[in-house]
Structure 1
């Protein structure tokens, strides 16, 4: 399990808006390739390690607006749980983010690439949250996340057209 804390120079409501929507995660989490929203509570995650695809579906288990956001894996070949806690600083002008994230296999010991992925989680999470902070504070986060979403949607459409041909 990894736990990181970062202070963001943005109001709590804005930070919560960004971090309580897992579809934004691939934009700043380098090791998550894609998140698809199934419904308001369910999200499908995907990544690739060592040439192997990992996919898992999560459900939101706690969503207390501007306070806490948490999810847990309900199926897939990678088990992920996460909790984000939000604390207002300086009368709500800044926000402290406490982020906990854990990956596990469902059965047995992980293969080498996955074991390395899990072992590197704390250092990677620190980099990912710093990237989030920089882009959110520069007000480029939402724009860049929307651009990434458009690229993913275009790739999905191209795959569908290719499959139909």
Structure 2
């Protein structure tokens, strides 16, 4: 597996940044290559992506979610293997550091080449920059889910290595 880690500071309070991130169906607005995210229930989403001409469909399961602190997930279906965590660190009352760490298994020559050249790191960095612009320009979050999901609430709780 390969690992990518990126962070960005956003000019909004931690609650606003976290609440917006829980609106998974809006991810295509700021995530390059994400065509659709459909939330199936509190813990599961179905994703459709197209990266470098390669289409993927897969399901994710949230394995740990603590409001204003973190959301961790893993894939549970489809042809993509990944797990990750996004964390929210208040810097002060009006600023938050959003950090994303993701383990993934590159499939095929295109993804392996992209992994070796750092393409995924650039994509994630760009997604975080677009999230920053999205949440700062909105003035407020479009919604938020404040529920708690604990490791063990799902089949297996895992987070990326080093997290």
| TM-score, normalised via structure 1 length | 0.75
Aligned position for 1:111: 108
Q: Following the alignment from structure 2 to structure 1, what is the Cα–Cα distance between the partners of residues 125 and 36?
A: 20
Kindly indicate which of the two structures has a greater share of residues assigned to helix.
1
What is the CA-CA distance between 1:89 and the residue it aligns to? Answer: 1.4
Tell me what 2:147 maps to.
none
Alignment partner for residue 76 of structure 2, among 59, 74, 77? 74
Gaps of 5+ in 2: 143-163
Distance 1:86 1:123 in 2: 20
Native 8 Å contact 2:17 2:141 kept in 1: no
Deviations 1:20-51 (A, max 9, x none): 23222221110221111111110011112455
CA contact (8 A) 2:16 2:141 kept: no
Note closer, same or farther for the CA distance 1:51–1:120 as it changes in structure 2 (3 Å cut). closer
Question: Aligned-residue CA RMSD in angstroms?
Answer: 2.0
2:125 maps to 126
Where in structure 2 are the equivalents of 1:1-165 lying within 5 Å? 1-49=3-51, 51-90=53-92, 92-104=93-105, 110-118=107-115, 119-139=118-138
* Deviating 4+ runs (over 6 angstroms): none
Counterpart of 2:32 in 1: which secondary structure?
coil
Report how many residues are paired.
138
- Name which structure has the greater RCO, CA cutoff 8 Å, separation 6+: 2
Deviation by residue 1:96-143 (Cα, 9 ceiling, x = unmatched) = 1111123215xxxx2122224444111111111111111211117867
Question: Does the 8 A contact of 1:62 with 1:71 survive in 2?
Answer: yes
SS at match of 2:60: strand
